[in-house]
């Protein structure tokens, strides 16, 4: 087939780029130069990044920003955020400052249980598989001892193994539903290793057991954290244009709309994930796992709904999030990626539980900032102000032009066409 290649992974990095340029870029030297421009001049650092994954040919930068002034459980934090979208870090910083003056964020981990499953088929009687399971159950624990020893020393391990019949949903389908405590590790490798050992021991008890697969679940409704802000309704006032009560009422309506309307809930939760993902990424955690688990949780009632909730009780405005987060502060990328190490150090080298609290707060703060804008000024005012530099960079504005245009747009509404017009006028 045209442009297909075999043995590609064995090529050196230079060979890979040469193949790519000649087969997919019509030998255009600027594509090659662009890939090489992002190599790090520190060879050891580059090698480290090359080896994170396969077929690495360059690095892909994302901004590493910080949002200061987060008061969380009475301690001030600076939160690292890796994100490309303009105004996310600014929004987090604004929300942090707003709540700093109103008692800050309170966060608490509710539970930390993770799940893995051995999925298997068995076509005999339920009583038969049940009795086989009960007989072999002690060995399932026993045979994983070499894997669980270190985790147990740290206070974690396998919590329970249950046999579950899923035959009502799929003929012959059963699972071993295994629960884990993985302490400060996200635990994916630990869980999967335990599951594969459990599966291999389990299938020895009958030739009729056909193991389909053994894998952790990224759905972690029992690895849950709650973050909250609250203040007197009157204290929500920031300017003359609305009273605290007016602000709170409209804000709560916006949350209620996201609770009942999936089209809005998805965007509402996307804004929350702006905060969540950027901290998850900066701290070297698996944002795809978090995304999958969080959205499944948001749909647990059968209808996709808001992750945040708000109320007024006895004159107190309350706004909170409950979110499942399987995070680690040891293992994986956390000890390898130099910027991840710095991010964790910035957060005071948190435990996984503390990181869950910080990430939940980042999500809540982001949602607060988004709803505050949406229900007052509208989102575009702030967003376009932050996006202004992107537009100016598209037009290769010089530093001097940027200064003049940023000044100009302090008093004028930013739209794409207004910026183009202003650049053209300036340059003319
Ligand atoms: C944009 O990235 C996020 C928002 O759309 C979130 C929201 O609508 O709540 C502003």
Domain extents in the chain: 8-50, 70-107+227-377, 114-217, 382-427
Strands 64-72 and 75-82: antiparallel
Q: Find the mean pLDDT for residues 384-408.
A: 89
Other beta carbons less than 10 A from residue 239's beta carbon: 7
pLDDT band of 378, cuts 50, 70, 90? confident
Interhelix angle for 244-260 vs 352-375, to 10°? 110
pLDDT at 390: 87
| Domain boundaries 70-107+227-377, CATH class | alpha beta
| Domain boundaries 114-217, CATH class | alpha beta
Global confidence as pTM: 0.92
How far is residue 321's CA from residue 307's CA, in Å, rounded to a whole number?
A: 6
pLDDT in tens, 273-308: 999 999 999 999 999 999 999 999 999 999 999 999
Ligand 1 binding pocket mutation candidate from 83, 374, 382, 384 (most atoms within 8 A of CB): 374
Residue 354 has pLDDT above 80, yes or no: yes
Determine the Cα angle at 194 with ends 193 and 199, to 5°: 100
Please answer whether residues 330 and 184 qualify as being in contact, where contact means their C-beta atoms are separated by less than 8 angstroms. Answer: yes
Query: Which residues are marked as active site?
Result: 85, 270, 286, 383
Ligand 1 binding pocket mutation candidate from 274, 298, 377 (most atoms within 8 A of CB): 274
φ, ψ for residue 422, nearest 5 deg: -65, -40
Percent of the chain with pLDDT over 90: 91
- Which residues, in sequence order, are CB contacts of 233 under 8 Å at separation 6+? 244, 245, 248, 312, 315, 316, 317
Q: Which residues are registered as beta bridge partners of 224? A: 324
Q: Find the mean pLDDT for residues 408-425.
A: 90
Q: Find the mean pLDDT for residues 203-208.
A: 96
End-to-end CA distance of the chain: 52
Residue 377 has pLDDT above 90, yes or no: no
Q: Find the mean pLDDT for residues 171-189.
A: 97
Among the listed ranges 253-257, 263-267, 288-292, 394-398, which one has the minimum average pLDDT value? 394-398
Percent of the chain with pLDDT over 70: 99
pLDDT in tens, 139-169: 999 999 999 999 999 999 999 999 999 999 9
Residue 2 has pLDDT above 70, yes or no: no
Residue 240 has pLDDT above 90, yes or no: no
How far is residue 269's CA from residue 298's CA, in Å, rounded to a whole number?
A: 9
pLDDT in tens, 9-53: 999 999 999 999 999 999 999 999 999 999 999 999 999 999 999
List pocket residues of ligand 1, CB cut-off 6 Å: 85, 267-268, 270-271, 274, 370, 374, 379
Residue 388 has pLDDT above 90, yes or no: no
Q: Which residues are registered as beta bridge partners of 117? A: 177, 215
- The strands making up 114-121's β-sheet, listed across from edge to edge, are 157-165, 173-181, 114-121, 210-217
């Amino acid at each position: 087939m045209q442009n297909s290649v075999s043995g590609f992974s064995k090529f050196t990095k230079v060979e890979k780029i040469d193949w790519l340029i000649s087969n997919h870029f019509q030998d255009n030297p600027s594509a090659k130069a662009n890939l090489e421009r992002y190599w790090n001049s520190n060879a050891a650092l580059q090698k480290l990044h090359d080896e994170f994954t396969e077929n690495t040919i360059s690095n892909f930068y994302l901004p590493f920003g910080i949002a200061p002034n987060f008061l969380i459980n009475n301690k001030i934090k600076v939160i690292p955020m890796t994100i490309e979208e303009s105004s996310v870090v600014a929004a987090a910083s604004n929300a942090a400052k707003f709540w700093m003056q109103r008692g800050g964020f309170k966060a608490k981990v509710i539970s930390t249980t993770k799940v893995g499953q051995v999925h298997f088929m068995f076509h005999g009687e339920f009583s038969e598989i049940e009795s086989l399971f009960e007989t072999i159950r002690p060995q399932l624990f026993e045979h994983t001892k070499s894997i669980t020893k270190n985790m147990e020393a740290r206070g974690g391990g396998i919590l329970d193994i249950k046999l579950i019949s899923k035959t009502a949903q799929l003929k012959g389908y059963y699972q071993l539903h295994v629960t884990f405590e993985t302490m400060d590790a996200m635990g994916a490798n630990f869980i999967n290793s335990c599951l594969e050992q459990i599966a291999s021991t389990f299938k020895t008890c009958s030739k009729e057991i056909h193991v389909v697969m053994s894998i952790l679940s990224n759905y972690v409704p029992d690895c849950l954290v709650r973050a909250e802000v609250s203040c007197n309704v009157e204290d929500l006032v920031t300017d003359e244009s609305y009273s605290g009560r007016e602000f709170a009422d409209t804000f709560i309506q916006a949350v209620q709309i996201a609770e009942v309307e999936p089209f809005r809930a998805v965007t509402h939760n996307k804004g929350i994930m702006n905060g969540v993902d950027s901290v998850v990424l900066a701290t070297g955690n698996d944002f795809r796992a978090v995304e999958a688990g969080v959205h499944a949780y948001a749909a647990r009632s059968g209808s996709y709904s808001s992750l945040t909730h708000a109320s007024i009780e006895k004159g107190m405005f309350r706004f909170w999030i409950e979110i499942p987060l399987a995070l680690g502060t040891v293992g994986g990328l956390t000890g390898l990626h130099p910027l991840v190490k710095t991010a964790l150090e910035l957060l005071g080298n948190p435990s996984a539980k503390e990181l869950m609290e910080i990430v939940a707060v980042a999500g809540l703060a982001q949602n607060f900032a988004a709803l505050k804008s949406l229900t007052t000024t509208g989102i575009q005012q702030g967003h376009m102000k932050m996006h202004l530099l992107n537009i100016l960079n598209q037009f290769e504005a010089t530093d001097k032009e940027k200064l003049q245009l940023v000044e100009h747009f302090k008093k004028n509404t930013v739209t794409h066409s207004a910026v183009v017009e202003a650049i053209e006028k300036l340059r003319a």
